[in-house]
A and B are shown apart, each in its own frame.
Chain A
Amino acid sequence: MTAVLNINGISKSYGKVKALNNLTLQINQGEVFGILGPNGSGKTTTLGIILDVLNADAGSFTWNGEAPSKYSRKKIGSLLETPNFYPYLTARQNLSIVCKIKEVNESEVDRVLSVVDLISRANSKFKTFSLGMKQRLAIASALLGNPDTLVLDEPTNGLDPQGIAEIRAIILDLANEGKTIIMASHILDEVEKTCTHVAVLKLGNLLTHGPIQTILNTQEQVCVSSDDLEILKLTLSQIDGVSNINQTGGKIYLMLAEGKDSAYLNKALFDKGIVASEIGIQKSDLEANFLELIK
């Protein structure tokens, strides 16, 4: 696989605050890469540096193996923080300026406006737009020239539920076309539904990264309960293939090794003289996993 973006030991401080600490990451072609983290974890700082609006204090990065330049940025569709346009210009005029900068044919304007469903407002001034429309125009702008790589910073920010679903569908379409998408978000649901890989940041440090299933433990969990939870817990710990036992409320959650299912667990408990009052399978709690990660 070819690396689209290689980040090598990037650090950035704002005065005494260390916003990013020695970040090293590789993002490969075709990945939908989510950068997760709470507010102030360094997501936007990372994107700002790779898009050359922030100067890193240390470290380097390359786009497709080459040193970053304005030419590499012309081929990347980006949305960083707020949508930035001239308020007194219309949507079409604003996008036509971006076309000139990106050296893209102006016929692209109508295409991207249709994609984000703004074509009927093409000749309205940007200042008359609602927050959601501004966000959609920014996404349209990122799509100009049909770039192979997209950098999106909280793309569904400010959108209503319908808008969120529409943008998510656009992102998934792009991902299916094989485009590389780098996306920062703090909305776990969004990341789970769109990303193939994630990196988790906290206070500028990279906590972990890799395929989403392994990082956020999208693996299934088994939930068991019985009359005496203490004995149940003790017994469970003696059963082969059981791991990650923890008690929440009146239930015990655990994970089973590959090839073992709830029937196996039920039988093993029964053999040890314990009758479970409930055995159920549950999708792992993404939020809990995430909170656990950034603790």
Chain B
Amino acid sequence: MLDLIKIEYKKIIPYRTFWVIFGLVFLLTPAVFYGIGQMGNDTVSFSSIYQFPDVWNNITYLGSWFNLLIGMCVVILICNEFSFKTFRQHVIDGQDKVDFIVSKVLLIVSFALFSALYLFIVGFLFGSISGGSDVSFVKDIKYLLIYFIQAIGYMSVALIVATLVRSTALSIILFLSSIAIESIIQLAIPYPFDKYFPMEIIANLTPNPFLKDIAVQPGIEIANPLAEAQIPLNTTLIVAVVYIFIFWGITYFILTKKDIK
């Protein structure tokens, strides 16, 4: 296991695309987060988004958008294995299809871990510097764990798309449009089953903090259809984890069925 992840990092540490994507994500996350907090005017201020404990929901919601970029990185890395024919070469040299899946899952989990750790650092710094709240920083820190699962979820979708399609450009397009494709299919599915589609479940892991605010606002009588239809976060989490395991299983199934070209 340790050797497998070492091999993965031997491949990507000298790879410039990897650094560009992660550099972009790690630079943009705090920059955009700071930017949003500075928006607003004399009457409305957003600066409270930095404060504990809300900072955890806010930063992970922002981070969830960057998960798409990290997912793209995973698509590129996996498609590379097919276009360079290095997956085939690894099999010839003495790996098997299980090693391939385990390597990529380990890579995905390590990416999710680094991203979650980075969001913790950014969130902690923003929360500490902004002050204005006596709440302990560990309150609502569960959002980081949920973000971690979500990151694995998006990257597992990337894994399945890349393994199935194998062409980098096509895979990226399919990965990015998977949410749109899913919403079209959802139209034909009756409520509440349409709420359990994988991309929606994964996306809902980091709930939109602004929607939440509207929903809990006292005095607003208009029922918020979006908030009402929400599945509880715990259920979402369990369904997401189940989906992730299904994705890994399907990826393995795809690999075993196809010849390694």
Mark A residues whose CB is within 8 Å of B: 48, 51-55, 69-71, 73-75, 78, 80, 82, 84-89, 93, 96-98, 100-103, 141
Contacts and interface: CB of A to CB of B under 8 A. Distances in A.
Contacts of B260: 53-54
A53 B6 contact: no
Contacts, number: 74
A73 B85 contact: no
A87 B192 CA distance: 49
Contacts of B96: 52, 69-70
Interface in B71-87: 80, 84-86
B91 A86 contact: no
A100 B84 contact: no
A82 B85 contact: yes
Contacts of A141: 93
Contacts of B85: 82, 84
Interface string B168-191: 000000000000000000000000
Nearest to B88: A53
Contacts of B38: none
A75 to B, nearest CB: 8
Contacts of B14: 88-89, 93
Interface string B5-16: 011001100111
B89 A88 contact: no
A101 B84 contact: no
A290 B120 CA distance: 70
B84 A85 contact: yes
B92 interface: yes
Nearest to B8: A97
A74 B10 CA distance: 19
B99 A100 contact: no
A84 B94 contact: no
Interface string B91-117: 111111001000000000000000000
Contacts of B86: 84-86
Given A88-B14, A103-B3, 18 more contacts: A48-B259, A51-B92, A53-B259, A70-B91, A71-B94, A73-B94, A75-B94, A78-B92, A78-B93, A80-B88, A80-B92, A85-B84, A85-B86, A86-B11, A86-B84, A97-B7, A102-B93, A103-B94
